[in-house]
Amino acid sequence: MGNSKEKYYITTAITYTSGKPHIGNTYEIILADSIARFKRQQGYDVFFQTGTDEHGQKIELKAEEAGVTPKEFVDGVAGEIRRIWDLMNTSYDKFIRTTDAEHEKQVQKIFKKLYDQGDIYKGYYEGLYCTPCEAFFTESQLVDGKCPDCGRPVQPAKEEAYFFRMSKYADRLIRHINEHPEFIQPVSRKNEMMNNFLLPGLQDLCVSRTSFKWGIPVDFDPKHVIYVWLDALTNYITGIGYVCDGDCTEQFKKDWPADLHLIGKDIIRFHTIYWPIFLMALDLPLPKQIFGHPWLLQGDGKMSKSKGNVLYADDLADFFGVDAVRYFVLHEMPFENDGVISWELMVERLNSDLANTLGNLVNRTISMSNKYFDGIVKDAGASEPVDEELKSVILETSKKVADKMDGLRVADAITEIFAIFKRCNKYIDETEPWILAKDEAKKDRLATVLYNLVEGICIGATLLEPFMPAASGKILSQLNAPARTFDDLDTFGTYPSGTKVIEKPEILFARLDLKEVMEKVEAMQAANAAPQEEKPEEPGIDIEPKEEISYDDFMKMQFQVGEIIACEEVPKSKKLLCSQVRIGSQVKQIVSGIKAYYKPEEMVGKKVMVLVNLKPAKLAGVLSEGMILCAEDADGKLAIVAPEKPMPSGAKIS
């Protein structure tokens, strides 16, 4: 068990302020909140930090599109993110913004310190430069001596930039990961980082940009702004009082290193490679654990603004209530694989788990106590053997929940708690209170049965608090139950005998009719959908035929369905996007000249057709390990080729 002296510092990734967070983004803060609340319940001194990541080229462009300054833009989005975090009843202790003056000041000092000690050096991007594409290429990347993106001539050029010597610390990081198997979780993410990045050898990292202004300037060289990840990652230390060139705060000394960085699997590389290396360079201890959680996916295909089916936490809370949404996202997410969210599944869970198993149990127990004993719950000591099995299930649960939570298996912890409520329902069927009530001689037995039910519900509801705080509070207040500590939950019988429960139980979760819900959902989606214009039929186009190939030539090419799990712009390139593409259990990095037609954020989640056995090549200095197939019209405009029906990542294309 924890005690009041043990600290626990947990963080979420800070949310990028490019737009309103959908339910997948919101899942992370609810997950972190459940862990933070559970640790507090165990007696730990918890500090829970979240916040917003507010710099970078993408935000500069979005602000320009919106006709506002970048600061006005991020103020609006950060306010919306915080509103949703508060709506979901998350108990964060600090909400940091990377535009906070103190954070910016420390980032500049960190950059200078790393520069002064030789970890950051000034260098150049050097190569053959295509002016229209703002991109550098090597000789081998050129096609017929011209730019591989646009086909125009290139000139030798170089551009100034600062670089971080990643290779200096790589061996030390590999050693740390091997010696601390718990450092990166789940293990599959650890293997991916070692095999795909660390073991092949780390390239030095470019840590400054000159092509845009919205970032923290390098104070001794102001035409450079600091790389957004160096700025963002340091929030975990600046937020608790790290001072780069002086005395850190007492809080920093107490709370660092972080016990848990909770992040999405798409940003695991930044947190398990760049971040630990930055910390080593600052001579700071590494966080104890980094957990790359899976994603919450839409059951009926990818969330898209044009379909109007992007799911937001506030809309879901309007339909189901905050605690039902919390229950759903926590309970439906497996430890390692992606979870699926759909309206149908939410209605089913609400009706079966929340309204029936939990709500109905509380309602029946309070109603029977009122009907048979005027609401007085008393332990009359009339035990029978059937009580022992009920008690043993209830008393084993707090240890089982603690074990699951120690392994970050939150969904499994909730299942253990609901086993109490299911067992209580079974106990009602076994003891049949309505039959006991007909026999005056069985009055003490009836009182004992109801006492055991109330005690079981109190223990279950207390365990439920980290996951569903409002529902837990309502249940305990209807039973007039005093608060208990986690250490009390392995003792049966601490509910004060003779306590009076509420006269009229409040319905905790009302059952919903799926048909009515779906009608409302369709109306909401239609109202939110982007208008689709009718387009006249377009004429086909003919292209220059290439020479015929044999069937054997074709069979050498391996095409598979890939799912884009992360995408970012390639620095200094007007044309290129760099996507992380999941193909079965593998992730490949693929660079494509599609920036003019797709924004990085709209690529994420797309299923695409990939040529997977193309020899790796560098485009604009970035390694590309395959090709995403696109169609091209007569004007040279591109569209991604995607499977017409839902297909799993890795599916063979033949």
pLDDT digits (tens, 9 = 90+) for 463-515: 999 999 999 999 999 999 998 999 999 999 999 999 999 999 999 999 999 99
pLDDT at 132: 61
CA distances 154 to 149, 210, 608, Å, are 11, 21, 31
Q: Positive or negative CA dihedral for 89, 91, 92, 95?
A: positive
Q: Per residue in 181-204, is it b (16+ CB within 10 Å) or e — as a string?
A: eebbbbeebbebbbebbbeeebee
377 alpha-carbon distance from chain centroid: 43
The runs of H, that is alpha helices, within 432-479 are 433-436, 443-464, 469-478
Sorted by sequence, the CB contacts under 8 Å of residue 353 that are 6+ apart come out as 327, 331, 418
Structure tokens at 515: 């048909």
Q: How confident is the model at residue 362, as a pLDDT?
A: 98
Low-confidence ranges of the chain (pLDDT < 70): 1-4, 131-136, 299-309, 530-539
- In eight-state DSSP terms, residue 487 is G
Q: Is residue 127 a contact partner of residue 564, using CB atoms and an 8 Å limit?
A: no
Collect all residues with Cβ–Cβ distance below 8 Å to 27 and sequence separation of at least 6.
Answer: 293, 296, 329, 333
Cα maximum dimension of the chain: 100
Task: List CB contacts of 283: < 8 A, sequence separation 6 or more.
Answer: none
Q: How far apart are CA 74 and CA 59, in angstroms?
A: 8
Cα-to-chain-centroid distance, residue 504: 40
Report the share of the chain in percent with pLDDT over 70.
95
The CA–CA distances, whole Å, from 87 to 26, 83, 84, 362 equal: 11, 6, 5, 25
Q: How many CA atoms lie within 13 A of 6 on its CB side?
A: 11
Q: Beta strands 630-632 and 638-640: pairing type?
A: antiparallel
pLDDT of residue 64: 92
Beta bridge partners of 219: none
Asked if residue 267 lies in contact with residue 13, where contact means CB atoms within 8 angstroms, the answer is: yes
The DSSP element (H or E) to which 126 belongs, if any, is strand 120-130
Contact 224, 89 (CB under 8 A): no
Gap between the Cα atoms of 221 and 581, Å rounded: 36
Q: With beta carbons less than 8 A apart as the criterion, state whether 476 and 443 touch.
A: no
φ/ψ (deg, to 5) at 583: -125, 100
**Residue 200 CA: distances (Å) to CA of 180, 188, 196, 273, 485:** 20, 18, 7, 13, 50
Q: What is the DSSP-derived secondary structure letter of residue 183?
A: S
Q: How many residues does the chain have?
A: 654
pLDDT at 2: 44
CA distances to 111, 119, 318, 525 from 281, rounded to whole Å, are 11, 7, 47, 50
The two structure tokens encoding residue 645? 């029906």
Rounded to whole angstroms, the Cα distance separating 264 from 29 reads 11
CB atoms within 10 A of CB 473: 15
- The 8-class DSSP code of residue 146 comes to B
Q: Are 331 and 414 in contact (CB under 8 A)?
A: yes
Per-residue DSSP letter, 196: I
Structure tokens at 58: 């993408």
Residue 285 contacts residue 503 (beta carbons within 8 Å): no
Task: Report helix, strand or coil for 618.
Answer: strand
pTM of the full predicted structure?
0.78
- CA dist., res. 186 & res. 291, Å (int): 7
Q: With both helix axes pointing from N to C terminus, report the angle between 57-66 and 70-87 in degrees, rounded to the nearest 10.
A: 100
Decide: 226 and 216 in contact? Cβ < 8 Å: yes
